[in-house]
Amino acid sequence: MGEPARGTQAVDRAMRLVATVVRADEPMAFADLFAECGLAKSTTSRLLTALERTELLERDDNGCYVAGPLFWLYAARHDPWDELVRLARPTMEQVGADTRETVNLAVTRGDRVVQVGQVDTQYMLGTRDWTQVEVPAHCSALGKVLYAYRCLPVPRGPLERLTPRSVTDGAALDRQLRQVLRRGWAITVDELEVGLCGVAVPVRGWGGDVIAALGVSGPTPRLEDRIEDIGRLLNDRAGQLTALLDRRTRKEGVA
């Protein structure tokens, strides 16, 4: 095989077992694992027993192997988004360097929109740190993206007016959302705060689902003429991010 793997046969094999179980994401019978990874039956058994003892794997009621306590512990302590944020950082910094404006990443939590990551503007005047802050979705570009791609339910009923230019009419919002789908980016100009302008695009994950929104925001005068360019730039970068996410979670080839 490509990888030489010096002096770690046992560990490598054990890890292949773990990876197989975790990636399968469903209970795997001994026989499946045995077949899948082509080791001697006795070796497979011994390794699996060791993995069970060390709490990496566990057996369910049917004796099938599933991810063990160590994985739960990790899941219990980490937002699923933690890693998205980490992986997205380079991309966001890239965008920050390109635009010199504040860059934001937002996801849905329950039916709210929450900013989970931010890279600050390089200008003096700019968006302050909004990490972990909920934003009124209908007034923000990030929120509009998440609405448009059905990451959270579009509110019926009247919408809050935050500035004279806020969209408060459901039908008008619908029209905007359709436009977002058509051209691939959402904007907000003076709708959340007077003088604040934002552009955002969807970030897609594993299988093409939209899992987050990536946006740029700053003073309207600096941004409004560049909206199209920024929209295209963001889409570009979001695509790269998707590719990155993909690579991280996909399995390497087997002999």
Q: Measured between alpha carbons, how far is 119 from 103 in angstroms, rounded to an integer? A: 5
Q: Which is nearer to its own copies, 81 or 185 (CB)?
A: 81
Compare residues 211 and 214 and give the one whose CB is closer to its own copies: 211
Q: Which residues of 227-246 are buried (b: 16+ CB within 10 A; e: fewer)?
A: beebbebbbebbeebbeebe
Q: Considering the rule CB under 7 A, would residue 20 count as an interface residue with DNA?
A: no
Report the alpha-carbon distance of residue 3 to residue 59 in Å, rounded: 30
Of 44 and 108, nearer to DNA (C-beta) is: 44
**Site size with DNA, rule: CB under 7 A:** 23
Q: How far apart are CA 169 and CA 117, in angstroms?
A: 30
Other C-beta atoms closer than 10 Å to the C-beta of 124 total 5
Other Cβ atoms closer than 10 A to 174: 14
CB of 241 to its own copies, least distance (A): 15
Interaction between residue 243 and DNA (CB under 7 A) = no
Is residue 97 at the binding interface for DNA, with CB under 7 A as the rule? no
Is the CB of residue 171 less than 8 Å from the CB of residue 210? no
Is residue 49 a contact point for its own copies (CB under 8 A)? yes
C-alpha pair distances (Å), 13 with each of 18, 127, 209: 9, 50, 33
Stretch that binds DNA, among 36-44, 146-154, 182-190, 245-253 (CB under 7 A): 36-44
Q: Which stretch binds its own copies (CB under 8 A): 5-13, 95-103, 175-183, 226-234?
A: 5-13
Query: Which is closer to its own copies, CB of 128 or CB of 156?
Result: 156
| Separation of alpha carbons 190 and 196, rounded Å | 5
Binding site for DNA (CB under 7 A): 6-13, 29-31, 34, 39-43, 45-49, 63
Binding site for its own copies (CB under 8 A): 3, 5-8, 10-12, 14-16, 18-19, 22-23, 25, 46-47, 49-51, 53-56, 67, 69-80, 82-83, 109-112, 248-249
